[in-house]
């Protein structure tokens, strides 16, 4: 979810669900060790609970970055061992780390020693086209001994050559049974399933077999789905949300960000373009919020134009 789940996106998603754990986009250790730390780690207090996802393979650097995340107040530090992109592989981290469980264990141990919040790992069920369960079983077993108690498991292999990141989310077959088997073999660990989950029914079915579910792009493209989660999965029925109320809160946030940081509203609005998916006039509404010719207008004025466009279609 790099370049997707920035702090503006997470603020939007938090308006939809009070309880879902939010994850940052992957931040590389190099970006934190050598770059602008506040730019990468700043977030809105409303985002809690929020986890910092790190990408890296050097235990000392990961410990340093985990420590920064702890100082910044993140609720969890997550190590990405699932991203299959060649750019990430060139940095010797992401999914290719699954081939080195001892190194991942060293990284996790260094991070656990550096922070007082949970250190978790996101990974695939295998790499390339091998479907040997022992591979992922031994990976989880080795890493758990270093102090990781939570594993977020994308139920597909990561093909390290020949597929784009998009193809890696679609072509390797989903094998949820492997995730369930991990839960059976490691009942003391928290195992969450990820990959291809798009409906409440699918979430419910997964929760009968594992401890949690991670949703990626579907939550981004169909964000209104999140508005049901608190009542359905967290027994919180105290809110009565509407798309219009969420949009209004986002316009207030855009105005505040513009005043305090000079952030253009378009950099924020892009994350909520799926809010009206499936409704009449959704396309016109998206067009208004994507119109850079309106960049000098106040977000409330843009919202009014978007609503006018929807009414014209209706």
Q: Which residues are catalytic?
A: 83
Task: Tell me which residue of 79, 186, 178 sits closest to 130, measured CA to CA.
Answer: 178
What residue has token string 């799926």?
Answer: 274
Helix (H, G, I), strand (E, B) or coil at 156: strand
Radius of gyration of the chain (CA): 20
Distance CA 186, CA 144 (A): 9
CA 286 to chain centre: 23
**Cβ neighbours of residue 193 under 8 Å, at least 6 residues apart?**
153, 155, 176, 179, 206, 209, 210, 212, 213, 214
CB atoms within 10 A of CB 157: 26
> 42: number of CA atoms within 13 Å, CB side?
7
Distance CA 54, CA 81 (A): 9
**96, burial (CB in 10 Å: exposed 0-12, middle 13-18, buried 19+):** buried
């Amino acid at each position: 979810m790099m370049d997707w789940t920035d702090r503006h996106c997470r603020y939007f998603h938090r308006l939809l669900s009070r309880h879902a754990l939010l994850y940052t986009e992957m931040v590389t250790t190099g970006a934190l060790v050598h770059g602008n730390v506040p730019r990468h780690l700043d977030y809105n207090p409303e985002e809690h609970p929020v986890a910092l996802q790190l990408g890296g393979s050097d235990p000392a650097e990961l410990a340093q970055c985990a420590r920064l995340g702890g100082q910044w107040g993140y609720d969890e530090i997550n190590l990405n061992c699932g991203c299959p992109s060649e750019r990430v592989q060139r940095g010797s981290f992401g999914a290719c780390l699954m081939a080195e469980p001892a190194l991942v264990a060293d990284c996790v141990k260094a991070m656990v020693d550096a922070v007082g919040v949970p250190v978790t790992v996101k990974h695939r069920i295998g790499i390339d086209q091998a479907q040997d369960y022992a591979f992922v079983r031994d990976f989880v077993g080795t890493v758990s001994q270093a102090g990781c108690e939570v594993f977020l498991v994308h139920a597909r292999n990561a093909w390290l050559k020949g597929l784009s990141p998009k193809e890696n989310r679609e072509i390797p077959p989903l094998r949820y049974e492997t995730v369930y088997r991990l839960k059976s073999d490691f009942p003391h660990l928290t195992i969450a399933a990820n990959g291809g989950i798009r409906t409440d029914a699918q979430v419910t079915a997964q929760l009968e077999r594992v401890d949690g579910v991670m949703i990626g792009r579907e939550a981004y493209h169909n964000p209104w789905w999140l508005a049901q989660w608190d009542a359905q999965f967290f027994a919180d029925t105290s809110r009565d949300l509407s798309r219009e109320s969420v949009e209004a809160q986002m316009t207030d946030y855009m105005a505040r960000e513009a005043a305090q940081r000079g952030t253009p509203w378009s950099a924020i609005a892009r994350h909520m373009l799926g809010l009206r998916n499936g409704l009449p006039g959704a396309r016109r509404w998206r067009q208004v919020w994507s119109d850079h010719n309106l960049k000098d207008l106040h977000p409330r004025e843009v919202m009014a134009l978007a609503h006018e466009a929807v009414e014209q279609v209706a």
